[in-house]
Every structure is written in structure tokens, then in C-alpha cells.
């Protein structure tokens, strides 16, 4: 009788633990669905109005960005 009670208690604790895990997963799922996935995109249109960009500027930027990688510039 004592063994049956201990087993029943252990089974109950396992079920409670399982329910707690499911609840945590549901909470995380709900939080993920409620949280915004995209930040508002800011337009850069007009920020460089009137600026002239030359091929030399582009080559210089490529060399600066990729100085440690051979890209054939």
C-alpha cells in the first residue's frame, strides 16, 4: 500500500512537471507571436540630395571595406 502511494505521488509530480513545461512553452509561443518582428524601416531617400558619387568613391569604399579580402578590385 505504501509503495502504491509513493508511485502515485511520483506519477502526479511527473504530470505536474509536464504541465509546467507545456505552460512555459505556451507562454514563450504567445510572447513570440505578440512581439514585433520588424522594426520600422527609415527611408534614406533624400538624405544625399545633391551629392555626386563617382566611380572613384565606390572603388575607394570597396577597398576600405574589403581590404583584408581579395575581391579583384
User: Does residue 73 contact residue 61 with C-beta atoms inside 8 Å?
Assistant: no
- Non-local CB neighbours of 66 within 8 Å, separated by 6+ positions: 73
User: Does residue 59 contact residue 73 with C-beta atoms inside 8 Å?
Assistant: yes
pLDDT of 15: 95
Task: Name the nearest CA neighbour of 17 among 31, 9, 30, 3.
Answer: 9
For residue range 18-34, what is the model confidence (pLDDT) as tens digits? 999 999 999 998 888 87
- Non-local CB neighbours of 71 within 8 Å, separated by 6+ positions: 62
What cell numbers appear for 19 in the block? 504541465
For residue range 30-60, what is the model confidence (pLDDT) as tens digits? 888 877 667 777 777 778 788 888 999 989 9
* Band of pLDDT at residue 9, cut at 50, 70 and 90: very high
Amino acid at each position: 500500500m505504501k509503495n502504491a502511494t509513493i508511485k502515485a505521488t511520483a506519477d502526479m509530480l511527473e504530470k505536474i512537471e509536464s504541465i509546467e513545461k507545456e505552460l512555459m512553452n505556451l507562454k514563450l509561443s504567445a510572447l513570440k507571436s505578440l512581439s514585433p518582428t520588424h522594426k520600422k524601416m527609415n527611408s534614406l531617400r533624400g538624405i544625399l540630395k545633391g551629392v555626386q558619387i563617382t566611380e572613384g568613391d565606390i572603388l575607394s569604399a570597396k577597398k576600405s571595406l574589403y581590404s583584408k579580402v581579395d575581391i579583384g578590385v
